[in-house]
A and B are shown apart, each in its own frame.
Chain A
Amino acid sequence: MDHLTALENKSIFIIREAYYRFKDIAMLWSVGKDSTTLLWLCRKAFFGKIPFPVIHIDTTYKFPEMYKFRDEYAKKWGLDLIVGRNDGQVEAGMGPGKGTKLDCCNELKTNALKQTIAKHGFKALLLGIRRDEHGIRAKERIFSPRDEQFKWNYEDQPAELWDQYRSTVADDNHCRVHPILHMTEMDIWKYVQRENIPISELYLSKEGKRFRSIGCAPCCNPIDSAASSVDEIVTELETTTTSERAGRAQDKEDAYTMQKLRSLGYM
């Protein structure tokens, strides 16, 4: 079995396991390439008809192309789409111009998701995170319980042996399930390429620039790139220099440092 097929089967197994364990489950869809890949895998797992809702957390600051993409495929694929929004904060004018980026993310993303989970009583969420995204994710499990404060106690997680995942979570908690944790950014693009998965046009180069990741428009910066098709993105990624990657690693270290300094009263 080739590499991508093996990855696909692993993901489908996890998705089906999660649905068997948790009937009150939903999938988080950011409209980005990772969660769209997850959505594609869910369609495969359930023979085209996803039996649970798909949540899109709308900060109201997403790119117009993303809303269009979302609505187009929600309809085309017959999704039970739930749009989650922190209406109180949106009305109060929360945005990237007000408060720090962190405050904005907290209110419009984290709290919006909390409210959505509480409203619908979801016990489990499928998320499209990957292990290679961030150092700390090296410790993520496929089935990862979060407490009511959304906190993840990564030092105290049970081992996951042999595709046997934990079957319950405490009453106040919900379980996050990560079916594509084992995929890398490169795997995703190659799978998108092989399966011809639709992705937002924002990923493709226009006038020498494209987005490597997409989210809220004010906080996303395009990179210089001439890759205007998925094939070209794969080629580009294969030749990306180490220094660009090191730059991103530096950003992550800075974020950690900032958080540490803040806890000691600096900044």
Chain B
Amino acid sequence: MDERSLHIVIVGHVDHGKSTLVGRLFHDTGSLPAEKMNEIRRACEELGKPFEFAYIMDNFEEERKKGITIDIAHTFFATPKRRYVIIDAPGHKEFLKNMVSGTSQAEAALLLVDISQGIQEQTLRHCFVLSLLGVRQIAVIVNKMDLVGYSKERFDAVSRDAIAALARFNLAPAYIIPISASAGENVAAKSPISSWYEGPTVLEALDSFEPLKVEEKGLRFPVQDVYEVSGKSVPVGRVEAGRLKPGQEVVVYPGKTKTRITCVMKFMEEGMTEAGTGECVGITAEAALKRGDILADTEPAFITSSVRANIFWMVDQDYRLGLPMVFKCATQEAIGRIDKIYKRFDPATEKTEDDLTVIKPAEVAEVEITLDGMVAIDSFSEIPELGRFVLEHAGTPVAGGIII
């Protein structure tokens, strides 16, 4: 089994069967304790209702909220290939803020569509957020096929709509899978009923997705702080991409000076030969370093004082052109202001607004931010940590941004 689990998000309209699908995934992968299954089965019997997979999810959420489920941060199921962590993405309408924090680490998405409902407004919103966040591995799951007698014609029609909807956001589905979550068709096991369908099941599709291999990109080590340890100056930070090794020649951005790493260290770990992505370490280097320096062994995509990005406005107040804010990307900080709004729109309707001097709550805007200093940044889909930023005003984050 792969050591690393894949983070997935399930998006789509709230009533299109997410709970049932999740329940089914847990059940069919045997990721659910027998005790729990019996409990749910009993509850359904008492009600005189058929066994409902949605209860599994409800039950988990309840427990998770109460802290009963042991593995709270990791609601996961596993296939023989690897573990999957489901990132929660609330399905209601005012979702942008939640969705943004929810999908921030998603490596793949299942986009759920109810065959009897088709693509709806909420589904479009979710597609848009997936595109903003650079989630490229998407499987469209067409649910409730049992309601239409596994009709190929109906499936083909919804497939065409789904492809068109995703294309509007420059996305393309890797698979489109007809399923019945409640009956378990094409989730873990291939359905004999939809014999016309030759593609993978949901689990096979998931197993075919690749994790984002940030550790194989060029090194990015943003300096977080500089400590003094036994009389030596020790810059600390987290490796955000690539690998960090003693003896490595690196460039310090945005100033582009060269230096050499002499030592990589952690407390109580002698003789480190390498630190991988995600590790917090201290180093010694030939040059003096400070917070905000980015150590890299490949050149970042942009060394600039002018950032073009998509931002989503998270607070209830409007932004007016020119208001100064703090731009925070990894450990880099600079004062900046939005000098130009190229377009702004409500992500639900995609309707663009004419007044390009203001950004309203819950809107998304493509903007040009001018900073009072240089920063080193990458595009979000390449190196996420250096491709996203937060704008802060008066100590409060007001917007999240993705570098295009």
Contact = CB atoms under 8 A, between A and B. Distances in A.
Asked if A and B are interacting partners, one says yes
Interface residues of B, number: 49
B72 A167 contact: no
A130 B39 CA distance: 28
A6 B280 CA distance: 10
A159 B101 contact: yes
A61 interface: no
Interface in B368-399: 385, 388-390, 392, 394-397
Given A9-B278, A16-B225, A132-B72, A162 B390 contact: yes
B291 interface: yes
Given A46-B227, A166-B396, A246 B68 contact: yes
A135 interface: yes
Interface string B133-171: 000000000000000000000000000000000000000
B397 A164 contact: yes
A47 B234 contact: yes
A13 B396 contact: no
Interface in B98-135: 100-101, 104
B67 A131 contact: yes
Contacts of A185: 70
Contacts of A103: none
B395 A20 contact: no
A1 interface: yes
Given A1-B276, A6-B278, A19-B225, A133 B67 contact: yes
Interface string A185-228: 11000000000000000000000000000000000000000000
A252 interface: yes
B328 interface: yes
A72 to B, nearest CB: 19
A168 interface: yes
A182 interface: yes
A17 interface: yes
Interface in A242-262: 242, 245-246, 249, 252
A166 B392 CA distance: 8
Contacts of B4: 1
Given A1-B278, A13-B224, A245 B314 contact: no
B198 interface: no
Contacts of B258: none
A138 B267 contact: no
Contacts of B97: 159
13 contacts: A2-B3, A9-B280, A13-B238, A16-B280, A20-B291, A44-B268, A47-B229, A47-B234, A133-B67, A160-B397, A161-B397, A164-B328, A249-B68
Interface of B: 3-4, 35-36, 39, 65-68, 70-74, 97, 100-101, 104, 224-225, 227, 229, 234, 236, 238, 265-268, 276, 278-280, 282, 291, 314-315, 326, 328, 385, 388-390, 392, 394-397, 400
